[in-house]
Amino acid sequence: MSMSHLYGTDGEDGVEMESFEVSDWDLQNEFNPHRQRHRQTKEEATYGVWAERDSDDERPSFGGKRSRDYSAPVNFISAGLKKSAAEEVSDEDSDEDEKPVKQEEIPKEFVPKKLKTGGNFKPSQKGFVGGTKSFMDFGSWERHTKGIGQKLLQKMGYVPGKGLGKNAQGIINPIEAKQRKGKGAVGAYGSERTSQSLQDFPVVDSEEEAEEEFQKELSQWRKDPNGGKKKPKYSYKTVEELKAKGRINKQLSTPQKELSQVKVIDMTGREQKVYYSYSQISHKHNIPDDSPQQLLGKDSKPQGFALPELEHNLQLLIDITEQEIIQSDRQLQYERDMVVNLTHEIQKMSEILSHEETAISNLSKVLDMVEECERRMQPSCENPLTLDECAKIFETLQDKYYEEYRMSDRVDLAVAIVYPLMKDYFKNWDPLKVNISLVYLQFPFDGDCTYGTEIIAKWKSLLENDQLLSHGGQDLSTDAFHRLMWEVWMPYVRNVVAQWQPRNCGSMVDFLDSWVHVIPVWILDNILDQLIFPKLQKEVENWNPLTDTVPIHSWIHPWLPLMQARLEPLYSPIRNKLANALQKWHPSDSSAKLILQPWKDVFTPGSWEAFMVKNIVPKLGMCLNELIINPHQQHMDAFYWVIDWEGMISVSSLVGLLEKHFFPKWLQVLCSWLSNSPNYEEITKWYLGWKSMFSDQVLAHPSIKDKFNEALDIMNRAVSSSVGGYMQPGARENIAYLTHTERRKDFQYEAMQERREAENMAQRGIGMAASSVPMNFKDLIQTKAEEHNIVFMPVIGKRHEGKQLYTFGRIVIYIDRGVVFVQGEKTWVPTSLQSLIDMAK
């Protein structure tokens, strides 16, 4: 091999000199792992660069080329025996096996792989893989030495009791050796790892990464064959990337927009630049070359193509093009969204159009039916419209054209069509006359009080507004039925009431009872307050209990179910008139009791007791004062007149009368009789006879018991005091037996009363316990209504969405799944039970 590329020549003599510069040959051969290596001889190992070399060596030693000594003797080397052809072929195969393999020919599975340091060892593992072997004898061999091995291991981080390795995992088996094929370098024949190392340190399959790193490191030491010039690298953007960038910028949030106005100083280039937003940095010109531009030195050549203005313009054109692409994409997306929106609008408008067409068709049919009704209502029509036929037409409108019927103004429609027919229907109506008919009239005259209730009930379901139930005030302009009843039906009722006599109350009460479930509540209240009550009040003022043969309760009490508390103002003048009539009354006249008895349950308990104490009790006291007690000839009429009022006056008032006006005289007569040697059998019968005149309720009173016990004590003292005088045989025993019998009866009666009271209390407790646990929400409302004295009852024939309506005081409610609903201004409002009670009060 010629060495002219390594040595230069000095002049014409041709003396070769060694060059110390690193040439391309050095670089290529230094990093070539497959180059033929020079095997060092023993002489070269001894003398180094001063050893003698042959001229065929790849590179001469330092110190210049030495001339070969041709005077030295010739050395022959023994060639051995000639081999056979088969042996030569096998030697050639072995030589081929020993040839170095190129890097490109090595398969990937033999490329070195990255190791996972520590293998499957977990850092939390305390012992090494060798198990929990005792360390008592560990390093016992060092007792014969100075212990330098243990010290060296501890300096390198070894902890006694743990294994070796990065994670102190250790190994169980000793390190295995694997025989390498041929004579190549390490790794030339693939992976040389043993099964033990693969088990303890598994590999990461990253051959491509290792190959890329190797080629990258290798390329750093190679000289660029193109003279050191690198190709410029350009960054390319696709249209899809630009669109994605535009969408991201479009979704910029408010805080990012605020940050986009921040002043930015860019010192990454050769000169300091100031930007007033982060977005301007994105428009910064990117130099295609990765390496920054170097300053021009002495020997460096100036850049041959430097046109910053052109580069700026080109970059500007690129930015404009990018913005146009982004704007076009946004416009396209906007148009697509607009198409979708318009499609939905078309579908919505088509649905609205079909709905409007259906509504127009229905309204045209409704209009035809209304016009037909108007035509038949003309006086010249051969087939006039009747009230029943009109009701059927309205039922058809409600069933088939419900929406149009609810949307229409039913008040005006009813005023125009139904009102004239209703006036003709009730033209000859007189509910207070019974069983009278005029055959020759066009409309039959019916004196029945139920006449018209069925047809009015039908019109109520057709015309009444469900959302505005009129209970306690109603706007007539919003409900056709209420206006119909007020303007058509009420005038006839006013005429009837004006001709009605209050003492003939039966027909009027029956009439209102039959219509109470049909007419609105506020109309019924108006009839009772404005029409009925004034006539009753006037009649009460004209009533005289001394001259009138008809008792007042016969024409007042029938109004109690309808009017209830409305009759309270009449009770005071009635009591005054009765009190005036009783001024000259005597208890012997029993007609007073017949007149007063029906009012006992009508007047309040306080007012009734006050009336009795003021007007009746004094008369009864005078009657008892006139009573003469004579055991031999007793007249009992006066006593019977007083006892007959027992149910009318209270027990306490009656007991007071007896204690004041009867028992003093009775005990005095008993004492005088006992002082005159009486017959004790007669006294016993007299005592028992008077006691039998009183009821059990009066006898149970403690004051009455004390009086009769006092009589027994007087009789016992009379029997026991007459020791020396004459005594009737057996009198003492009879009186003692009578006393014992009476005391025993009193004791049994008291025990029986106590037992009854206990049973009543037990029954009351069971009833209260049963009533305290309502079965449902309706029972709970009923219980609360009873506790607060509020009327709670269903409204007959009145429903809302299939739910029964109830009156809670003056409020109309309905119950749905445990919730009570109260009528509001436009709809039903759910409310609590306490709020309902407060509203009712």
Kindly report, residue by residue over 707-738, the tens digit of the pLDDT.
888 888 888 887 776 544 445 655 666 677 67
pLDDT at site 64: 47
**pLDDT, greater one: 379 or 11:** 379
pLDDT at site 302: 53
pLDDT at site 410: 60
pLDDT category at 76 given cuts 50, 70, 90 is: low
pLDDT in tens, 563-583: 888 899 999 999 999 999 888
Work out the average pLDDT over 185-210: 72
Cβ pair 610, 576 in contact under 8 A: no
pLDDT in tens, 660-700: 989 999 889 888 888 877 777 888 888 888 988 888 888 88
CA dihedral of 566, 572, 574, 576, whole degrees rounded to 10: -170
Indicate the pairing of strand 273-275 with strand 792-800: unpaired
Distance, in Å, from the CA atom of 184 to the CA atom of 95, rounded to the nearest integer, reads: 12
Only one residue has tokens 């920054």, namely 292
Structure tokens at 644: 């007959």
Domain boundary assignment for the chain? 310-381, 585-723, 777-840
Only one residue has tokens 């109470």, namely 516
Nearest Cα neighbor of 481 from 447, 450, 510, 522 is 522
Nearest Cα neighbor of 263 from 280, 275, 279, 254 is 275
pLDDT category at 350 given cuts 50, 70, 90 is: very high
**pLDDT, greater one: 726 or 480:** 480
pLDDT of 154 above 60: yes
Distance, in Å, from the CA atom of 836 to the CA atom of 830, rounded to the nearest integer, reads: 10
pLDDT at site 149: 77
Helix axis angle, 605-615 to 651-661, nearest 10°: 20
pLDDT in tens, 369-410: 888 877 877 777 777 778 788 888 888 877 787 777 777 666
pLDDT of 201 above 90: no
pLDDT category at 214 given cuts 50, 70, 90 is: confident
pLDDT in tens, 497-537: 998 998 888 889 988 988 988 888 899 999 999 999 999 99
Residue-wise DSSP of 615-671: HTHHHHHHHHHT----SSS---HHHHHHHTTTTTS-HHHHHHHHHHHTHHHHHHHHH
Q: How far is CA 269 from the centre of its chain?
A: 63
Distance, in Å, from the CA atom of 809 to the CA atom of 784, rounded to the nearest integer, reads: 12
Q: How far is CA 303 from the centre of its chain?
A: 77
In our burial notation (b when 16+ CB lie closer than 10 A, e otherwise), range 153-182 reads: eeeeeeeeeebebebbbbeeeeeeeeeeee
Distance, in Å, from the CA atom of 683 to the CA atom of 631, rounded to the nearest integer, reads: 9
What is the model's pTM? 0.48
The DSSP letter of residue 598 is G
Sign of CA dihedral 202, 208, 211, 216: negative
